[in-house]
Every structure is written in structure tokens, then in C-alpha cells.
């Protein structure tokens, strides 16, 4: 479950409509409590994470489809647009995670074990941080418990600490040029302080010691004393 045609990553084209997404997700997994954090599974298990994403997406799509009943697509969207958009976003998050997991798995034969471990941590961070940001959707029907929610937040903090030594290398792997980054701190030559000084010198607010609007709005009133309190 959870794979596209031919066993590859699922694509948005394979679930082109809301009703198609509902049918697809209803078949992609079962309900019940999440296995995240259980003995032998942990909170970084990709299958457990995908199952949790599929569950909350399936629930939202199914609920919206049930409310729509036999209504046409236009009428259903008009009456329940917020819920459908929320369900669509949840489905997109599931597809992104699914393709992320598959891409990292496919790359393992081409990278070192150390790089593979970093990418696994990055996938887990993406999945858990997104869950934490939308935790209400995961605990609404009890699929994820409050205890699991707290543990997920702690796992995010742990992953951030583990990935910190690799953060610069991960950003550099995108090979973004200085013009695109537009960052004094992230420049390729590493000359941070010189670049910061030049940036401050070129800032429009630093062209004058007087802030914009002072001469037009405040100077005359202060000189005439009009700004004094009448108490």
C-alpha cells in the first residue's frame, strides 16, 4: 500500500480527483492506533510515519466525501471548501513524504553509509516536524496519543541536534550561487564580517542619521513646541 503504478512513487496524476483520492486512501491502510514509538518501531520508522500520514489524510478525505454525499463536485466544494482544501493539503503532505522516502531509499546504492544515515535523519525530521505542526489532525481521532505527541516533539529536538553538524553541507549540496542566496552569512567565500559591513553601509536606512519622515512630520512640531503635553 502507498506505492504508485509499477511499484514506484505515487504521483498526483494517479489521484486526479477528490473522489479518486478518497478511494485511493481508503485502500492504502487500516485504522487503529499508530505504531509510532512502540517497541521495535520507534519514532523514525518510515513505514509507521507513512501509515500515520495516510491515516489522517484518509480520515479527512472520507469525512468530506461523506458530507458531500451524492452532491456534484462543484456543489460539494462550494458547501465544504475549507475541509476539502485541508484534506488536499494533507494528501499532498503524504505524497511528498512518500516520494521523499522512496528517493532516499533509491539513493542508498550510490552514496556512503554516513551520507545515507544523514538523509534518513533528514526524512525523519521532515516527517516528524510536519506532524508536530499539524498535530491536531493526527490526535483528533486518537490515532496518535498525547504521550506520542510529546515524544514526537522531543524527537524533533533530538534530530535537530544530530543534524546540526551536517546543516552547512546539506545546504551546500543544493549548489545555490551567491546571487540566488542573497545572504552575507551564506556567501561562498566565507568572508562574513566584510559582507555584513558592506550590507549595512548600503542599507537605505543608513544613508542618513535622521530616520525617514523626521524632517517632514516631526521636526517642525518639535521646534515650535507643539508636541508638548497640555496636562
**Per-residue model confidence (pLDDT) at position 51:** 92
Q: Please, are residues 95 and 54 in contact by the beta-carbon 8 Å criterion?
A: no
Q: Which runs of consecutive H residues, i.e. helices, occur in the chain?
A: 18-26, 46-68, 73-79, 81-107, 113-133, 135-139, 146-163, 167-172, 178-181, 192-202, 220-224
Distance CA 8, CA 68 (A): 32
pTM over 0.85: no
Distance CA 138, CA 18 (A): 20
Q: Label residue 185 exposed, middle or buried (CB < 10 Å: 0-12, 13-18, 19+).
A: exposed
Radius of gyration of the chain from Cα atoms? Answer: 26
Q: 10 Å Cβ neighbour count for 4?
A: 17
Please give the average pLDDT of every successive group of 10 residues along the chain, which has 231 residues.
Answer: 46 45 48 71 90 91 82 77 87 95 94 94 97 93 91 96 93 86 82 88 78 76 64 65
Which domains does the chain possess? Answer: 5-174 (1.20.140.10), 176-231 (no CATH)
Distance CA 226, CA 187 (A): 49
Q: Please, are residues 98 and 50 in contact by the beta-carbon 8 Å criterion?
A: yes
**Per-residue model confidence (pLDDT) at position 164:** 96
The angle subtended at Cα 63 by Cα 55 and Cα 51, nearest 5°, is: 5
For residue 18, report the phi and psi dihedrals to the nearest 5 degrees.
Answer: -65, -40
Q: Please, are residues 34 and 143 in contact by the beta-carbon 8 Å criterion?
A: yes
Distance CA 207, CA 201 (A): 8
**Per-residue model confidence (pLDDT) at position 28:** 47
Amino acid at each position: 500500500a502507498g506505492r504508485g503504478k509499477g511499484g514506484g512513487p505515487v504521483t498526483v496524476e494517479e489521484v486526479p480527483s477528490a473522489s479518486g483520492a478518497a478511494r485511493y486512501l481508503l485502500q492504502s491502510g487500516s485504522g487503529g492506533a499508530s505504531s509510532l514509538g512502540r517497541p521495535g518501531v520507534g519514532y523514525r520508522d518510515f513505514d509507521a510515519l507513512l501509515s500515520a500520514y495516510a491515516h489522517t489524510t484518509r480520515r479527512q478525505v472520507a469525512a468530506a466525501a461523506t458530507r458531500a454525499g451524492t452532491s456534484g463536485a462543484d456543489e460539494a466544494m462550494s458547501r465544504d471548501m475549507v475541509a476539502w482544501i485541508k484534506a488536499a493539503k494533507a494528501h499532498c503532505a503524504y505524497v511528498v513524504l512518500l516520494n521523499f522516502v522512496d528517493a532516499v531509499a533509491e539513493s542508498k546504492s550510490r552514496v556512503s553509509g554516513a551520507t545515507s544515515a544523514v538523509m534518513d535523519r533528514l526524512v525523519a525530521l521532515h516527517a516528524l516536524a510536519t506532524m508536530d505542526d499539524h498535530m491536531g489532525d493526527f490526535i483528533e481521532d486518537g490515532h496518535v496519543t498525547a504521550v506520542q505527541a510529546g515524544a514526537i516533539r522531543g524527537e524533533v529536538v533530538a534530530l535537530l541536534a544530530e543534524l546540526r553538524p551536517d546543516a552547512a553541507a546539506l545546504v551546500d549540496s543544493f549548489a545555490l550561487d551567491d546571487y540566488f542566496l542573497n545572504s552575507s552569512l551564506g556567501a561562498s567565500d566565507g568572508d562574513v564580517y566584510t559582507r555584513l559591513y558592506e550590507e549595512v553601509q548600503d542599507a537605505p536606512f543608513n544613508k542618513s542619521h535622521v530616520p525617514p519622515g523626521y524632517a517632514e512630520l516631526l521636526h517642525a512640531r518639535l521646534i515650535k513646541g507643539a508636541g508638548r503635553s497640555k496636562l
